[in-house]
Structure 1
Amino acid sequence: MKQDSGPLWSKAVVLSIFQELEVREKNIDEQNIPWASFFCVALGVYMATLDGSIVAVALPSIRADFGARLGLIQWVLSIYMLVITGLLLAAGRVADIVGQKGVFLGGLSVFTAGSLLCAAAPTAVTLIVARGIQGIGGAMLMAAAPAIVTATFPPSHRGRGLGLTGTVVGLGLTTGPPLGGLLLDLLGWRAIFYINLPIGIGAVAYGLAKLPPLKFTKPGQRFDLSGTLLFSAACATLLTASSKMGEHGSSPPYLIFIVSAILFGGFVLREKRAADPLIRLSLFKNRRFTFALAASLLTFISGIVSILFLPFYLTGVVGLSTSTMGMVMMVTPLVMMSLAHWAGGLSDRIGYRLLTTTGLIIRAGAFVAFILIDPDSSLALTFAGLLLLGVGTAIFMSPNTSSVMGAVPPQMLGVAGSLTAVARNLGMALGVALGAAVFDIALVKAGGTSIGTASLSNHPAFMTGWRAAMGMALAVCLSSVVISHLRGKDPERSDN
C-alpha cells in the first residue's frame, strides 16, 4: 500500500501537466477571457515593474550627475519602497470603496506624472520627492491590478489571468536592466523616466475606454484614516529597521523594531474597534487566505537572501564581470516569466495546494544547491540553483495569489490584492534583515571583516557566512512548505 500511495499525487500532476500542454484547450472558451481589461492591467504592471528594475541600473549615473553622496542617492530606491508598502492597504481599501477602475487609472496617472517630475528633477532631493509621488501611484496600481484580474476573469480562468500577470512582471524584471543600459548609453538617465510617459498616457486612454466600472461595495462606507496612519508608520519603521540591519558594522536597530511592533499592535486594536476598518480581521479566520499570505511572506523572506548575496559570490569569489553576473542572475526571472502563465492555468484545473506545496519543495532544492557551492564549484551548480528557484517560484506564485484572491468576497478584492503585495514587500525587507544578520555573525566568527573584502580575499570567511545565510533561507523555505500544505483542501472548482 505504501508503495502505491506515494506516486498517486505525482501521477496526478504529471497527467495534468500533459493535459495543460495540449495544443487544443477544449475546455477554455476564449470569449469568456477579458483580454481588453487584461491588456490595460498589463501595461500598468509592466511600467511599474520595469521602473523598479531600471532605476537601480541608473543609480551610479544619477549620483555622478548630481554629485551627491551615496547615502542620499540610495533614497531614490528606498523612498519608492517605503511609500508603496505604507500605502498599499489604504489604496486597496479605497479601491473597494470607490471602484477598482478609478483607483487603477488614478494610479497610472499619478505614476506617469511622477515619472515626468523625475525626468525633469533639477536636484537629488527633488528627484527623491518625485520618486515618492511615483510610489503613491505604484501603490494604487499594485493594489488594484490583481483585484481587476480577479473580478474580470471567470473563476475557472482566474489562475490563468494571474499567471499572465506574473509573466508581465517577469518581462519587466528581465527587460529592465538591458533596456536601462541602452537608454543610459544613448540618452542619459533621464530617459528611463521619460519612457514611462507614452506607456502611461496610452494605458490611461485605453483603460478609460475598455475597463468596466468594477465597484462592489455598498454606498456609505467610510475610510479609516487612523488605521492608515498606524499601518503606514508601522511599515515605514519596519523597513527602516530592516535596511539598517543590512548595513555592515551598524548596531542592530532593536528599538526601531520594537516601535514597529507597537505600531502594528496599535493597528490591530484600531481595526477591531473601527466601524469601517481598512481590513476586516475576520478574513484571517479563513485558512486558505491566512496560510496563503503566510506562505507568501516566508517565500519572499527566503528568496531575497539569494538575490542579496549571489552578486558578491559571482563577482568576488568566482571573478565574473558585472555584465556577465547580470546575465547569470537573469536565469530566475526568465524561467518565472516562461512558466507563470502555465502554472496559473494548471491551478485552474487541479487546485492550489498541490501546486504551491510542490513549487516550494522545488525552491528548497535551490537552497540545497546554494549551500553546496564552494569557491571551486562549477557555475553549473549555480545555474541549477537559479533554475530550481525560478521553476519553484513560478509554480508557487500564481496559484498562491489565486488562492488569496479567491478566498474573499468581491467587495474585499482591493484589500486582498494589496495584502499580497504587502506580504511581498515586507517579506523582502525581513529577508534582507535576517539574511544580513546571520551572514555577518557567521562572517565575523570566521575571521572576516566585511562582505566585500571577504568575497575578494577571504573566501573561507565569506563561504561560512554564505552557508549560514543559505541555511537560514532553507529553513524558512521548508517552513513555507508546511504552511502551504496546512492551508486546507481546495474549494470545489467552478466552470463559470
Structure 2
Amino acid sequence: MAECPTPSRMSPKDLLIVIVVALGSFMAGLDATIVNIALPDIAKSFDVSTVAVSWVLNAYLIILVSLLLAASRLGDMKGYRSVFIGGFALFTTGSLLCGLSPSLDILIISRMVQAVGGAVISALGAVMVTSYLAASLRGQALGIVAMFTMLGAALGPVVGGFLTSAFSWQYIFFVNLPVGIVAIILGMHVIPRLAPVSPTSKMDNGGIVLVFVALGTLIFGLTTLQGPAPVMGITALVISAIFWLLFYLQERRAKEPLVNIPLFSNRAYSLQNACVLLIQMAMSGVMIIMPFYLEIVKKIPTDNAGTILLALPVGMILTAPIAGKISDVIGTKKPIITGFLVCTVALFFLSTLSAASSVGHVCIYLFFLGAGTGIAFSPLNSAVMGECPVKDRGSTSGLVKMMTNLGSSLGVATVMLVAMVAAGPKLAEYSAHLIAPAELAGAFDMVFLFCMVLEVIGVVLMLGVRAREPSDSSDGEVAMGF
C-alpha cells in the first residue's frame, strides 16, 4: 500500500484552522498591551490610586498564568474543540463585562473572568495546531500563530491610545467583541470534532492550587520587590519558592499530574523549554526598558517612542512564519541557534547606544532583535511540541505558554533591577532633575548587555540539544529523543 504523500502546503481547511487559533493569539497579544496605556484614564474614571488600578493588570496576569496548565488538561479531557470555543466565548464575555463595569472592583472581577478564557485560548493554541495539522506543517503554522501574537502586542498601545483618546477606556475591551464573535463562529465550522486525548483523566486539583499560589506569589513578589515595600516582595518570593517545591513533590506522586515530570529527563525537552523562557525574558526586558532610554536619554515624546518600538515586533512578524516553514524542511536546531545569534549581535549593538546615537540606529537594532526572536521562537515551539508523545501534547502546550508568560514577568523584573543596580541613586536624582539624562545611558547599556548574556546562554543550551530530522509524517506520534 502506497504511503500518503507528506504535505508541504496547507490546504484551505488547514489555513482556516490556523486562522482561528491565530485570532486567539492575536487577542491575547492585543490584550496584554492595550490596557496599559489606558490605566491613567481608568484610575481617573473611578477616582482610585495608581496602586489600586494596577490590579487591573496584576489580577489578569496571575489568573492567566496560573491556569494555563489546568486549561491544557481540560482540553485533553473534554476535547480541544469544545474547550477552545468555550474559552473564546468566556474571554469575549469577560471583555464585554469589563467594558460595562461600573466600579474598579467589578472591573477587576471581570478581568479575572476574561483571564480564565484567555488561559484556555492561549494554552490550547499550540496543541491544536499540532493535533489538527500534519507534522510537516507544524513549524509553518506555529510561525503564523506567533506572527499574530506579536501583531496583537504591537498594535495594543496604538489601538489602545486611539480608542481611549477618541472614545473612552471602555472601548479597549469592546474591541475584542467583533474579533471574538467571528472566531467563535468560524471555529464552530472549521475545527474538527476529534475524540478527547484523555477522556477518563482526572484533574490534578492539588497541583492547580499549588501552582496558582506559586505563580501568584512569584508575580506579586516580582512586581512589589522594587516598590515601597520590598520586604513584602521578598516574603512573597520565599513563599513562592516553598510552593514551587510543594508543586514539584505533588507532581512526582500524583497519578495524573498537570506536568509529566519524567519528560524533563529528555534533555532536549528541558533545554528548549528553558530557551523559551530566556528569549522571552530578553525581548520583554528590552521592550520595558527601551521607552525609558528613548524618553529620558533621547528626549523623544511618548507617542513617537511607541512608534519606534514597533520596529521590534515588525522584525518578528516578518521572520516568524518564514522561520517556521524553513524549520519544517531543515529541522529546528539550526534556525533556533541562528535566531539566538542574531539577537546576541543586535543586543551588543544596543549596548553601544549613547545620548548621541541616532534614532535610525535604534530602529535597525530593534528590528534585528525582533527578527532574531522570530527566527528562533517558531522553531522553538515546534521543537518542544515535537519532543513529547501525543498524550502529553496538551500539558506541553500549556507549559510552553506558561514559560512564555513567566519569561515576560521575569524579564520585566530583572531588567528593572539591573537598571537600578547600574544607575544607583541616579534614577532618583533624575526625577529631581539633578543630573544630565546622558549620565543614565550607561545603566541602559548594562541592561542590554544583561539581555545579551541571556541570548548567549540560549545558544549554549541549544548546542547541547541533538539535532533531529525534520518531521516527515503526519501520524502525530513523536519518538522521545535524547
TM-score range, shorter chain: over 0.9
| Deviation for aligned residue 1:214 | 3.6
* Aligned twin of 2:455: 477
Classify the secondary structure of the residue corresponding to 1:276: coil
Which residue, 201, 220, 242 being the options, matches 2:200?
A: 220
Query: For 1:363-386, what per-residue CA distance to the aligned partner results, in whole angstroms no more than 9, with x for missing partners?
Result: 111211121111112223312320
Distance in 1 (CA, whole Å) between partners of 2:118 and 2:124 is 10
**Amino acid paired to 1:212:** P
1:255–1:180 distance in 2 versus 1, CA, 3 Å = closer
1:218–1:72 distance in 2 versus 1, CA, 3 Å = closer
Q: Is the 8 A contact 1:117 1:127 kept in 2?
A: yes
1:115 aligns with 2:90: no
| Deviation for aligned residue 1:487 | 1.8
Distance in 1 (CA, whole Å) between partners of 2:102 and 2:356 is 48
Gap runs ≥5 in structure 1? 1-25
Which residue, 465, 472, 475 being the options, matches 1:494?
A: 472
Q: Tell me which moved more, 454-463 or 175-184.
A: 454-463
Q: Is the 8 A contact 2:341 2:459 kept in 1?
A: yes
Alignment of 1:80-229 (within 5 A): 80-229=60-209
Distance in 1 (CA, whole Å) between partners of 2:434 and 2:187 is 51
**Amino acid paired to 1:43:** L
Gap runs ≥5 in structure 2? 1-5, 475-482
Which residue, 244, 247, 256 being the options, matches 2:236?
A: 256
Which residue, 432, 437, 446 being the options, matches 1:459?
A: 437
Equivalent pairs: percent with the same residue?
31
Which residue, 272, 295, 308 being the options, matches 2:275?
A: 295
Query: For 1:303-327, what per-residue CA distance to the aligned partner results, in whole angstroms no more than 9, with x for missing partners?
Result: 2221121111101110111111000
1:67 aligns with 2:47: yes
Distance in 2 (CA, whole Å) between partners of 1:121 and 1:331 is 35
Query: For 1:364-412, what per-residue CA distance to the aligned partner results, in whole angstroms no more than 9, with x for missing partners?
Result: 1121112111111222331232022111101000000000111112222
Query: For 1:417-462, what per-residue CA distance to the aligned partner results, in whole angstroms no more than 9, with x for missing partners?
Result: 1111111111122222222222212211xx5143862899433542
Query: For 1:224-268, what per-residue CA distance to the aligned partner results, in whole angstroms no more than 9, with x for missing partners?
Result: 000110011100111111112343784583332221111111111
Q: Is the 8 A contact 1:340 1:395 kept in 2?
A: yes
* Aligned twin of 1:19: none
**Amino acid paired to 1:192:** I
1:388 aligns with 2:360: no
1:404–1:238 distance in 2 versus 1, CA, 3 Å = same
| Deviation for aligned residue 1:176 | 2.2
Query: For 1:124-156, what per-residue CA distance to the aligned partner results, in whole angstroms no more than 9, with x for missing partners?
Result: 121111111111110011011111111111111
Distance in 1 (CA, whole Å) between partners of 2:59 and 2:146 is 24
**Amino acid paired to 2:457:** S
* Aligned twin of 1:274: 254
Classify the secondary structure of the residue corresponding to 1:253: helix
Distance in 2 (CA, whole Å) between partners of 1:116 and 1:100 is 24
Distance in 2 (CA, whole Å) between partners of 1:36 and 1:380 is 38
* Aligned twin of 1:43: 23
| Deviation for aligned residue 1:111 | 0.5
| Deviation for aligned residue 1:219 | 3.4
| Deviation for aligned residue 1:42 | 2.1
**Amino acid paired to 1:291:** L
| Deviation for aligned residue 1:215 | 3.8
| Deviation for aligned residue 1:33 | 6.1
Please, what TM-score do these two structures have when normalized by structure 1?
0.90
Distance in 2 (CA, whole Å) between partners of 1:352 and 1:166 is 15
Classify the secondary structure of the residue corresponding to 2:426: coil
**Amino acid paired to 2:208:** T
Distance in 1 (CA, whole Å) between partners of 2:291 and 2:163 is 23
Alignment of 1:296-445 (within 5 A): 296-444=276-424
* Aligned twin of 1:448: 426
